[in-house]
A = this chain, B = another copy of it.
Amino acid sequence: MAEYQYQTRILVAVDCILFGFDGEQIQLLLIKRGFEPMKHQWSLMGGFVQPDESTDDAANRILKQLTGLEGIYLEQLHTFSSPDRDPIERTVSIAYFALIDIKQYQQQLTDQFQAAWFPMQDIPTLIFDHEQMVKMARQRLRYKAASHPVLFELLPQKFTLPVLQHLFEDVYDTQFDKGNFSRKMLSTGLLLKQTDKDKGSSKKGAFYYKLDKKNYKKNFHQLLRIVPNAHELI
């Protein structure tokens, strides 16, 4: 097969962008790279795809090998293929991302490659084009959060509006007016007001709410009225 015979075979890698919510803010998981070049520099979890596995399987295998984490649904984000992205040899990398509840997975996390969580505003310099990958993953997260209950799934079963607002502010890197956010969120029809209050943060207390899962499909697009620059997300 002549057409195949003369082709250049290329290194194929995967890189994993893992966001975690700790109850207050969204963080990014990084490791210290285990081989040259740039050994010991902060990096996404990445590695090379083996002959007998898909990129999906490689991403899961590599995440487990480097951090101990498993059972996480990794979504394919984008393939990065700039010929110069890896200074040693031309490498094409398929990036994957996920958003998890840190508390749920903290026990699995190993220290072999010094895996650590970094707040989004305090991300260190990363190798290669990993910062570009993180940037794209953040944008994808914003789009998903505007149309899926993904953020609600991270919060406890019941939550207050201030907590919900803080999470949206973290994801969209913005400040909402408190009254505006509450009013708009309540008008989406997505929330079920509970009878009890959280008296911890203020004397008056804040009512608990739950996600109305029955009506989610009908009303999810209302979230697009709340998030900033929604038309740029989708």
A196 at the interface (CB under 8 A from B): no
A40 at the interface (CB under 8 A from B): no
Closest-by-CB residue of B relative to A225 is B221
**Which chain A residues (1-60) contact chain B, with CB distance < 8 Å?**
1-4, 7-12, 34-37, 48-56
Identical chains in the assembly: 2
Find chain B residues with CB under 8 A from A4 CB: 11, 88-89
Stretch with Cβ within 8 A of B (4 or more), from A77-85, A113-121, A160-168, A199-207: A77-85
Question: Most chain-B CB neighbours within 10 Å: which of A79, A92, A230?
Answer: A79
Chain A window 202-230, contacts with chain B (Cβ cutoff 8 Å), 1 for yes, 0 for no: 00000000000000110011001100001
Whether A230 contacts B234 by the Cβ 8 Å rule is: no
A148 at the interface (CB under 8 A from B): yes
A65 at the interface (CB under 8 A from B): no
A94 at the interface (CB under 8 A from B): yes
- Closest Cβ of chain B to A78, distance in Å, is 6
CA distance A220 to B233 in the complex (A): 12
Q: List 27 A-B contacts (CB under 8 A).
A: A1-B36, A1-B37, A4-B89, A8-B9, A8-B50, A9-B11, A10-B12, A10-B49, A10-B51, A12-B12, A12-B81, A49-B81, A49-B92, A51-B83, A54-B81, A54-B82, A54-B83, A55-B79, A55-B92, A79-B94, A147-B234, A148-B234, A220-B234, A221-B221, A221-B225, A221-B230, A221-B234
**Chain A interface residues toward B at CB < 8 A:** 1-4, 7-12, 34-37, 48-56, 76, 78-79, 81-83, 88-90, 92, 94, 147-148, 216-217, 220-221, 224-225, 230-231, 234
